[in-house]
Amino acid sequence: MKNFSRERFKTGEEYSRALFFLSPFIFLFSISLFQVLNLTLLQGDKYQTIAESNRIYQKSINPVRGFIYDRKGVLLAENIVQRDLYVTPAYIEDSTKTILTLSNLLDMPYELLEKNFSRGVKKVKKYDSFPLAKALNEEQIAKIKVNLESISGIEVKATLKRYVLHEETLAHILGYVGDISSDEIKRDKLLAEIQNTQIGKTGIEKEFDHILRGKPGIQTQERDVKGKLVRILDTQGAKDGKDVYLTIDQKLQDHLFKFFENRRGALVALEPKTGLVRALISSPSFNPNILNSIVDTDEVEKLFSNKESPIFNRAISGQYPPASTLKPFVGLAAIENTVISWDKKIKDDGKFYVEGDPRPYRGWKENGHGRVDMRKAIAESSDVYFYTIAFDLTLAGIRPMLDSFGFGKKTGLTDFEANGLLPDKKWKLGYKGDFWFKGDTINLGIGQGYILATPLQLAMAYSGLANKGLIYKPQFIQPADEKSFKPKKVAEIQLSDDKTWEKMEQALVDVISAKNGTAHKIFDANSAVIAGKTGTAQIKSILPGKEYDAIRENPALRDHALFVGYGPVEDPKLVVAVIIENGESGSEVAAPIVKSAINFYTGGFDAE
């Protein structure tokens, strides 16, 4: 009995020991058995489907692009729903047959669909999809849905299309969006991760794309062998883009755009005391909605091949001779360098000669303006007066003043604006392969020759006159609170005598108010008092013996018409620069637009 108990104890002890050593293996076996049962019984259908189709992939979820509003909350650009036909090449066995079938169903040219397919295949990964046809109508959608099950690798998706409400009126401000190109991906690798997302190509859409675009989400999908969606396994939502409020005043923009019908030209209107851009026009314009969702490629090609260059933004990239609108700045340079005084008079008989050169430099008025001082020279735009002071100033005396007002450099409004051109001796030698001559300086004195400026630069320069030397950086984004907004100062021109500002302003007021002023036709005693300057930019030199009337027979060779002004003078609210290409007379075609802009914006006056 005693031996039995001892033997029994021994056996139990060995069993416990064996169980202790085997427990880890038993635990692992239990887990494995549970996992096998889970995979085969509980989730068998799910993984059977996956094993058979092997079609699980991640799809990018496009964020909603932010809206664009004007300064007062008027909606300018939004997103509207359209239905597009998407294809996934990996699920299509015979692309030729599929495209032919779709061509018949959609009543669209086979060549167009084949072109879209070939282009799309090169851009996407194996199981990614891309739009083959955009903006399907109801009839096309119905036909596709009926045949959806019989055609592999296709589906109709609801997408958001960018839509500009005021179309041509805002085209050059807002710009347009488009598909991501391979060159853009090379410059920004992050764009490669975004599928079928459109980004800004020009204008505000491009400048503030990083704000408007948002961040895409990711959706994990399961699809069958035909590419049809089986189920959504996981979704990580997209982060929508933010809305943008512009400084643009849509009512002012609409009002001024009407003046540019059937005209080529540009306009920039901004507040001199803040730099806030209230209107910007480039004409001819275009409908950005054509490019926001390209449906008709022929229409797009026609747009880009248009000889009138409607896509080109003349307001910020058009470079023109400033002509006589430059004279106030040349005049300031002459006063500051004591080349002349305000009261000193020069005889203007219509011609200016340089010693040793028999060729005369002619003024715009054949018999001249008689004896003129600075004030009269500005009001009547005497060329001979400015030929004279430019000759005495020399390039070294003129250029620093023009530079201080921003000529020849970007204003800072956008990275996509042109620099303009403020020439010097080094520039001419490098680009023209020739030396700088006295005649070059004389032409510079009246804003002709090699100097070029954008309408935006002219508006900025005149804001410096309106502010008595202060120039603020222009901007498109509306401040949250205008009253507390502090504009960024980009220049402060100091003159030896502050009264010089007032004297120059009075001369610019005379341009409109005085009977001998070149823009007296727009004078209205019941309207806001405006200071400004006309300009007539000659685009073709007139050789001796040739009359301008012969030149103007070709409309493309006629002079450009300019006017830049600000007002009301007692408290400037708006500065406006206008150029009408081949418009000939600044006082006839450009000045009335400036007057209307200032009156409309300030209110209380007849804006017509």
How is 550-594 classified by DSSP, letter by letter? HHTTSGGGSPEEEEEEEE-TTS--EEEEEEETT---IIIIIHHHH
Domain assignments of the chain as residue spans, ordered by start: 77-212, 250-602
Q: Compute the residue count for the chain.
A: 608
Q: Give the three-class secondary structure for 175.
A: coil
pTM of this prediction? 0.83
Query: What pLDDT was estimated at residue 205?
Result: 96
Q: Give which of 493, 477, 497 is closest to 485, Cα–Cα.
A: 477
Answer whether 77-212 and 250-602 agree in fold. Answer: no
Query: Are the CB atoms for 350 and 382 separated by under 8 Å?
Result: no
Residue type (1 letter), 501: W
Query: What pLDDT was estimated at residue 27?
Result: 65
* Alpha-carbon dihedral sign for residues 373, 374, 375, 376: positive
Pick 250-602's CATH classification: 1.10.540.10, 3.30.565.10, 3.90.1150.10, 3.40.710.10: 3.40.710.10
Write a three-state SS string for 272-332: CCCCEEEEEEEECCCCCHHHHCCCCHHHHHHHHCCCCCCCCCHHHHCCECCHHHHHHHHHH
Q: Give the three-class secondary structure for 403.
A: helix
Query: Are the CB atoms for 531 and 565 separated by under 8 Å?
Result: yes
Query: Are the CB atoms for 384 and 351 separated by under 8 Å?
Result: yes
Query: What pLDDT was estimated at residue 279?
Result: 98
Active-site residue identified among 324, 381, 463, 527: 324
Query: Are the CB atoms for 598 and 567 separated by under 8 Å?
Result: yes
Q: Where are the beta strands (DSSP E) in 154-262?
A: 154-164, 177-179, 198-200, 217-223, 229-236, 244-245
Read out DSSP for 526-558?
Answer: TS---EEEEEEE--SPPPTT--HHHHTTSGGGS
DSSP class of 488: P
Query: What pLDDT was estimated at residue 237?
Result: 74
How many C-beta neighbours within 10 Å does residue 121 have? 14
Residue type (1 letter), 384: V
Is 317 considered catalytic here? no
Query: What pLDDT was estimated at residue 608?
Result: 46
CA distance 567 to 594: 10
pLDDT digits (tens, 9 = 90+) for 507-549: 999 999 999 999 999 999 988 999 999 999 887 655 444 555 5
CA distance 529 to 545: 42
User: How far apart, in Å, are the Cα atoms of 209 and each of 97, 167, 175, 205, 526?
Assistant: 39, 19, 11, 5, 45
- Beta bridge partner(s), residue 133: 85
**pLDDT below 50 — which residues of the chain?**
1-2, 4-6, 9, 47, 49-53, 543-545, 605-608
Query: Are the CB atoms for 377 and 371 separated by under 8 Å?
Result: no
Query: What pLDDT was estimated at residue 15?
Result: 59
CA distance 399 to 397: 6
> Which residue has tokens 């933004």?
313
Q: Which residues contact 281 (CB under 8 A, 6 or more apart)?
A: 172, 253, 256, 257, 260, 265, 266, 267, 315
Burial class (CB in 10 A: 0-12, 13-18, 19+), 550: exposed
Query: What pLDDT was estimated at residue 154?
Result: 86
CA 478 to chain centre: 16
What is the per-residue burial (b if ≥16 Cβ within 10 Å, else e) of 5-41? eeeeeeeeeeeeeeeeeeeeeeeeeeeeeeeeeeeee
Residue type (1 letter), 303: L
CA distance 450 to 553: 25
Which CATH topology does 77-212 take?
Answer: Penicillin-binding protein 2a (Domain 2) (3.90.1310)
CA 193 to chain centre: 25
User: How far apart, in Å, are the Cα atoms of 601 and each of 251, 512, 580, 604, 607?
Assistant: 9, 19, 21, 9, 9
Query: Are the CB atoms for 191 and 209 separated by under 8 Å?
Result: no
> Which residue has tokens 């990275």?
415
Q: Which residues contact 276 (CB under 8 A, 6 or more apart)?
A: 71, 247, 270, 474, 475, 478, 479, 482, 487
In the chain, the largest separation of any two C-alpha atoms, in whole Å, equals 149
pLDDT digits (tens, 9 = 90+) for 12-37: 566 566 656 666 666 666 676 666 56
Q: Give which of 286, 303, 289 is closest to 161, Cα–Cα.
A: 289
Residue type (1 letter), 258: K
Omega before residue 592 within 30° of 0, cis: no
